[in-house]
Amino acid sequence: MLKIYSFLILAALIGLVSFSGLDQAKAVETVKIGVMAPTTGPWATEGQDMVKVVDILVEQINAKGGINGVLIDLEVGDDGGTPKTAALAAQRLVTAGVVAVVGTYGSAVTEASQDIYDEAGVVQIATGSTSIRLTEKGLERFFRTCPRDDEQGLVLANKVKALGFVKPAIVHDNTSYAKGLADETREILKSLKIADVYFDAITPGERDFAVALSKIRAQNPDVIIFTGYYPEAAMLLRQKRDLNWNVPIIGGDATNNRTLVELAGVSAAAGYYFVSPPGPSDMKSQAALDLFKVYQERHQGLPNSVWAVLAGDAFNVIVKAIGTAGVNPEGIAMYLHSGLGKYEGLSGPISFNEKGDRVGELYRLYRVDPKGQFVLQD
């Protein structure tokens, strides 16, 4: 008896599910786009901002009737800032049936998901992963809206030279991003006839860098190049101030986060240089201003860094490509490679080369002024 009942219930459930599925398909046509971002874990600020930006864009497009009448259904996958979680998130998004994915932030994290998306035929546009090798694998559906480390290393080295420094100390944090950038910068500096006097790592997540600083000080450099992330940069600045040592520090784009000044304190942060794509407050395109207006109302303040905005750019080019090429990954990829022209993105004109890298120099030199503001130098 029980068996018959459970069979009936099961049959009813299956019927319900399939009918409701049919209903939905008839009512509205949707296209699934994924966002893979570190909404938990050490980079959760970045990840949550990425999702906030894309959420607003989805709302705006759907309010206008979607892409040629097709509504966007956003799937968010949390990669936790770790390769392992990223692989799971990627599998989940692929199973959910996304046609394209925005993300993600960390290079090693993106790398763990690349093959999964590629095998599933999904377009992926990374937004903060600057490691060189990601686009050297010949993946046809992989793009990025952020620049590459070699470009950053080149700009960083050139700025160090242009500012007249001749005895740099180079500090990284053993992550693949920071080590890569440090190596790259070191090589280019060598070709510019500038030899470093110190090259070593600190441990990210730690708070005490007094040992590293005292060791660097013994080499008497005229500038410290730090290629890691903003929490550690803030600690270095602060502890350098505590040593009454006023050597300048120049950092990379992972320190372009306004929290840096809060963490280091205005007096310690003043004078800090970094190279980065222009931050949210320096983006003047109409699209960016429109986005920030809504963002500011909803989240009190601008996104913390440029990377969230680049996620918005990645999302926008996907929408544009779907609008022209339809819901098909091959067509989207083809369009992004060749049809995009000079698309006016949030962060400036966007086009991709054959490798999927963003074309054009994005990096600028910034300096923290005595009031703690990031000021564009050139």
Partner 1 sequence: MLSHFFEQIIYGLTVGGVYALIALGYTMVYGVMKLINFAHGELFTLGAFVGFFFLVTLDLGSFWGPVLAISLTVVGVSGITALAGRLLERVAYRPLRDSDRLAAVVSALGASIFLQNLIMVVSGAKYRAFGVDLLPTTFIQFAGQSVPVARLFVFLTAVVTMLLLYVFINNTRFGLAIRAAAIDQGAARLMGVDVNKVIAVVFVIGPALGGLAGLLVGVYYGQINFDMGQLYGLKAFTAAVIGGIGNIPGAMIGGLLLGLLETLGAAYVSGAWKDALSFVALILILVIRPTGILSERVAEKL
Whether residue 104 has a cis bond before it, omega within 30° of 0: yes
In this complex, which beta carbon is closest to partner 1, that of residue 45 or of residue 129?
Answer: 45
| Cβ nearer to partner 1, comparing 44 with 327 | 44
| Nearest CB to partner 1, comparing residues 82 and 152 | 82
Min CB(220)–partner 1 separation in Å: 14
Which residues fall within 8 angstroms of residue 122, CB to CB, at 6 or more apart? 34, 93, 94, 98, 99, 100, 101, 141, 329
Residues of this chain that interact with partner 1 (CB under 8 A) are: 39-42, 44-45, 47-48, 174, 200-203, 205-208, 210-212, 214-215, 218, 231, 234-235, 238, 241-242, 259, 262-268, 304
* Residue (of 255, 268, 170, 267) closest to 221 by Cα position: 170
Q: How far is the CB of 36 from partner 1 (least distance, A)?
A: 17
- Least distance in angstroms from the C-beta of 105 to partner 1: 13
CA distance 339 to 32: 22
Residue (142 or 198) nearer to partner 1, CB = 198
Strands 364-368 and 71-78: unpaired
Q: Decide: residue 35, CB within 10 A, 0-12 exposed, 13-18 middle, 19+ buried.
A: buried
Using the minimum distance from each CB to partner 1, give the nearer residue, 312 or 372.
372
Q: Confirm if 197 and 169 have CB atoms less than 8 A apart.
A: yes
Nearest Cα residue to 373 out of 253, 250, 269 = 269
Token representation of residue 40? 């938990």
CB of 289 to partner 1, least distance (A): 24
Q: How far is the CB of 259 from partner 1 (least distance, A)?
A: 5
Rounded to whole angstroms, how far apart are CA atoms 319 and 346? 14
Nearer to partner 1, 92 or 238 (CB): 238
Beta bridge partners of 171: 200, 226
In whole angstroms, how close is the CB of 211 to partner 1 at the nearest point? Answer: 5
CA torsion through residues 33, 131, 357, 257, sign: positive
In the complex, what is the shortest distance from the CB of residue 82 to partner 1, in angstroms, rounded to a whole number?
11
CB of 41 or CB of 326, closer to partner 1: 41
In which residue are the tokens 């990425």 written? 50
